[in-house]
């Protein structure tokens, strides 16, 4: 499993609208992608215009090829892209260790 981590910054004062948009985009677009396994979104406490989006994929290619190069990516960006203060920083990770939930 691959973790996609996106560090997102939006303009101050747009949090409520972005909260709705990102949840709508995840529910209606990302959730349709091949290899999608789940997500988490965290909002900054000290920096309320910063969000960390974590999406779990079966493979790296499910994100980088299947999603990013397919039609769902344009739909996703149409929903959340207008809020970006700068391009998100996106990286991918594999699990090394975890605690028991």
Q: What is the mean pLDDT of residues 47-55?
A: 97
Q: Mean pLDDT for the chain?
A: 97
Question: Which DSSP letter does residue 7 get?
Answer: E
Can you give the pTM of this predicted structure? 0.93
Report the pLDDT value the prediction gives residue 27, as an integer from 0 to 100: 97
pLDDT above 90 (res 101):
no
| pLDDT mean over 72-92 | 98
Among 63, 5, 11, 74, smallest CA distance to 34 is for 63
Render pLDDT for 65-80 as a digit per residue (tens, 0 to 9).
999 999 999 999 999 9
């Amino acid at each position: 499993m691959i973790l996609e981590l996106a560090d997102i910054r939006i303009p101050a004062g747009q949090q409520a609208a972005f909260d709705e948009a990102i949840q709508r985009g995840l529910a209606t677009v990302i959730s349709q992608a091949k290899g999608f396994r789940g997500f988490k979104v965290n909002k900054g406490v000290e920096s309320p215009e910063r969000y960390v989006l974590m999406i779990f994929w079966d493979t790296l290619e499910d994100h980088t090829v299947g999603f990013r190069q397919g039609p769902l990516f344009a739909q996703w960006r149409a929903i959340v892209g207008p809020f970006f203060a700068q391009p998100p920083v996106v990286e991918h990770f594999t699990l090394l260790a975890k605690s028991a939930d």
